[in-house]
Chains A and B, each alone.
Chain A
Amino acid sequence: MAILVIAEHDNASLKAATLNAVTAASKIGGEIHVLVAGANCGPAAQAAAQVQGIAKVRVADAAPYADQTAENLAALIVANAAGYSHILFAATTTGKNTAPRVAALLDVAQISDIIAVESPDTFVRPIYAGNALATVKSADAVKVITVRTTGFDAAGQGGSAATEAVAAGADLGIAKLVNREMTKSERPELGAAKVIVSGGRGLGSGENYHSLLEPLADKLGAALGASRAAVDAGFVPNDYQVGQTGKIVAPQLYLAIGISGAIQHLAGMKDSKVIVAINKDPDAPIFQVADYGLVGDLFQLVPELTAAL
């Protein structure tokens, strides 16, 4: 029995989310292979070979996989699925996009967003925005799974897996990337950050968001996040959103500033180790999950906090 973990990468480097998926695979038990599908993805494959616990890195280095389009990627994975009892993806936008396609082509169910492995066929996953945890058992021969990265620690370094080339398939030619606009930031990635400074509607404007939260994030070496309300109000781009339908994060420290704490937001951050809330409303629901609450005017408190750090 072997497990195939689909690497999340940008050809040049391996994304941290892959490491969490590898740990989930190690909890299932069995030989772990990683598939790196990309174009000029040698560096990413090299990085994958150094992850601890990997027996083999399989590399499909060809143009159809350059942009990680789901159609080509899923066809490749299915063509190479023989011999695997489990196929794991990180539950990122790339993983969520591709995994169900693989599952459907294999005629098996997909188990989304697992946070724990009970046995090789039984997994725990959150439902209803994390308001309930379901333990589900799969009856399928192959388990296609997406792994919630906050549910598993990152696998360590120090491995030296062999790499082997995998034959590429044809370009299906039905989907083409025409543009990619990535938010450029010197800050850590939201999904992997140890500290997150997150802002909500209470900040009042995009200008306030940047002028108040950026200096604080700089001092803490933090990533910046936001509630859906702040994203909908146009303070920041959509990829800042933390919550049920945005990013699920679990940093060491999460500072919620001017965020009231709607269920959908809490679903995305309540597994953080320490939560700090700053809000002028003492009855805001965010205080029910915050380890430390500070009631008051954020326009005064945030600069004070930044200055004191």
Chain B
Amino acid sequence: MKVLVPVKRVIDYNVKVRVKADGTGVDLANVKMSMNPFDEIAIEEAVRLREAGVATEVVAVSCGLMACQETLRTAMAIGADRAILVESDADLQPLAVAKLLKALVEKEAPQLVILGKQAIDDDANQTGQMLAALLGWPQATFASKVVIADGKATVTREVDGGLETLALTLPVVVTTDLRLNEPRYATLPNIMKAKKKPLDTVKPADLGVDVAPRLTTLKVVEPGKRQAGVKVADVAELLAKLKNEAKVI
């Protein structure tokens, strides 16, 4: 069974995001970029499936700038066997990415596509579900446990109020939540090995996909800052403030 793992290059989760003064976006110049943390979990899960003998090959895919090659090398250092970059400098929105991935799925014929539930830059939480819809496949989003056996995926999902478990017919799209696994650190020998693994590059036009954006960002602003309040000396003062000043109890 082949597994396809889409990964996204995003601003590192430790970086404090700064909105550009002209309101056109956030400042990405000289900012550390990394793999979207949820996608790292997806790669780890795919590699574990291969190590367990369930999967035979793990293919990492990224859509975006040439620089996404770095992200793909990271995916291969974790354990992906090979990688495909869909190279484009367009503003790729989730629907366009889902269409690109659909075209690749039709070429590669994986039984499982596993990816992060959301990217920490646009926080959209759409691509996996859109891909499943376009393919007519079932989906299991926000996964905290994935078991593949007998042509079926049994996936436990984190939902509001608890957990639910779905049984799905393969092929299937799974999106990862934080507690699915803890990704390994890529070791130096594996980073070196990853440099030699195959990385193919294609263009959206090669896949016959129109990636024109549907949403236009008119402006990006910083949210209203919450002012730091006061420190209170003790519980009595806190209660007095909550009762008389804030009037919330």
Least distance between B22 CB and chain A CB atoms (Å): 13
Q: Is the interface of A mostly helix, strand, loop or mixed?
A: mixed
Over the window 160-174 of chain A, the binary record of Cβ atoms lying under 8 Å from chain B Cβ atoms (1 yes, 0 no) is: 000000000000111
Known contacts: A133-B220, A274-B242, A294-B231. The answer to whether A175 contacts B226 by CB under 8 A is no
Over the window 148-165 of chain B, the binary record of Cβ atoms lying under 8 Å from chain A Cβ atoms (1 yes, 0 no) is: 000000100111111111
Known contacts: A100-B129, A292-B229. The answer to whether A132 contacts B222 by CB under 8 A is yes
- On chain A, the residues within 8 Å of B193 by CB distance are none
Q: Are A132 and B17 in contact (CB under 8 A)?
A: yes
- On chain A, the residues within 8 Å of B126 by CB distance are 99-100, 103, 110, 112
Least distance between B242 CB and chain A CB atoms (Å): 7
Over the window 113-146 of chain B, the binary record of Cβ atoms lying under 8 Å from chain A Cβ atoms (1 yes, 0 no) is: 0000110111111111111111001111110100
* Chain B residue total in the interface (Cβ 8 A): 78
B26, B221, B235, B236 pick with most chain A CB within 10 angstroms: B235
* Chain A residue total in the interface (Cβ 8 A): 89
Interchain CA distance A242-B117 in the complex, whole Å: 17
Q: Is the interface of B mostly helix, strand, loop or mixed?
A: mixed
Other A-B pairs, 9, CB within 8 Å; known A109-B213, A137-B215: A96-B141, A101-B133, A108-B214, A128-B120, A191-B160, A232-B178, A238-B158, A245-B117, A275-B226
- On chain B, the residues within 8 Å of A173 by CB distance are 169
Known contacts: A239-B158, A276-B242. The answer to whether A293 contacts B216 by CB under 8 A is no
Q: Are B123 and A128 in contact (CB under 8 A)?
A: yes
- On chain B, the residues within 8 Å of A135 by CB distance are 217-221
- Residues 209-241 (chain A) with a chain B CB within 8 angstroms: 220, 228, 231-232, 237-239
Interchain CA distance A179-B121 in the complex, whole Å: 33
Q: Confirm or deny: A139 has a beta carbon within 8 angstroms of a beta carbon on chain B.
A: yes
Q: What are the nearest 3 A-B pairs in CB distance?
A: A291-B229, A100-B129, A109-B214
Q: How many A-B residue pairs have CB under 8 A?
A: 252
Provide a sorted-by-A list of 26 A–B residue pairs whose CB atoms are within 8 angstroms: A71-B138, A97-B141, A100-B94, A101-B139, A103-B126, A104-B134, A107-B95, A109-B95, A126-B223, A128-B11, A131-B223, A136-B216, A137-B215, A174-B169, A175-B167, A175-B168, A176-B166, A179-B164, A181-B164, A182-B161, A231-B179, A237-B162, A244-B120, A274-B248, A290-B229, A305-B239
Q: Are A174 and B138 in contact (CB under 8 A)?
A: yes
